[in-house]
Chains A and B, each alone.
Chain A
Amino acid sequence: MNPNRVTPLLCTWMLFAVLSAPAWAEGDAAAGKQKTWTCEGCHGIPDYRTAYPDVYSVPKLGGQSAGYIVKALQDYKAGSRKNTTMGAIAARLSEQDMADIAAYYADSSVGK
């Protein structure tokens, strides 16, 4: 391939890579700990279960991938993932709140 053609291609690819990178806020685990009081009532109780209509254990979050927690909260806020309780809670969270909470749960050295 002609090198003169490769450079613009490469630049386009790099620009695309930068633009399509997920725009996650940097999470602060210590700040996140202060924001988990609403989470604790369910996720902090071992083997806590949801109530009607679907009964199942609420997921364990300690050690969970930070990016996944952020995505779950974003989806609940946007309504693309549906759960009445989580939808109401996520609706009040900012992107920074989500990143902080995710950093807290992902970092197992904080808390306990």
Chain B
Amino acid sequence: MNKLIVSGALSMLAASAPLLAADYEAGKEKAAACSACHGADGNKPITPDIPRLGGQHYDYLEHSLKAYRSGARDNAMMSPMAKPLTDKEIKDVAWYFSRQPGLVTKY
């Protein structure tokens, strides 16, 4: 029983890990620069080849920004945007966009 409680508490902690690592308000502030192209809340891209970000998975957004930063993923617009970001800033921005309404899993 005690083991069950401990493992339950641990898994809840794991699920809220981004909450502990990422700062929504700081992300919102950083996201103002993104909105110039991705639109308000990342949901109104200014051209069709720009992705929506609203509601996207936190860890996918984090993975994408890190790939742009390292050069593993290359884009004339995104590479220079991602280069100066710290790990913390990437987590903040990713957390902010992942918490907006928008994209869904479709099948």
Contacts and interface: CB of A to CB of B under 8 A. Distances in A.
Interface of A: 22, 36, 40, 43-47, 54, 56-68, 70-71, 80-82, 105, 108, 111-112
Contact of A67 (B47, B58, B73): B47
Contact of B49 (A63, A67, A80, A112): A67
Contacts of A66: 48
B72 A46 contact: no
Given A65-B45, A80-B74, A60 B104 contact: yes
Q: Does more than half of chain A's interface fall in helix, strand or loop, or is it mixed?
A: loop
Contacts of A36: 107
A65 B38 CA distance: 11
Interface string B65-100: 000000011100000000000000000000000000
B63 A44 contact: no
19 contacts: A45-B107, A54-B63, A57-B57, A59-B56, A59-B57, A63-B55, A63-B102, A63-B103, A63-B104, A64-B52, A64-B103, A65-B52, A66-B48, A67-B48, A67-B50, A68-B45, A81-B73, A105-B106, A112-B107
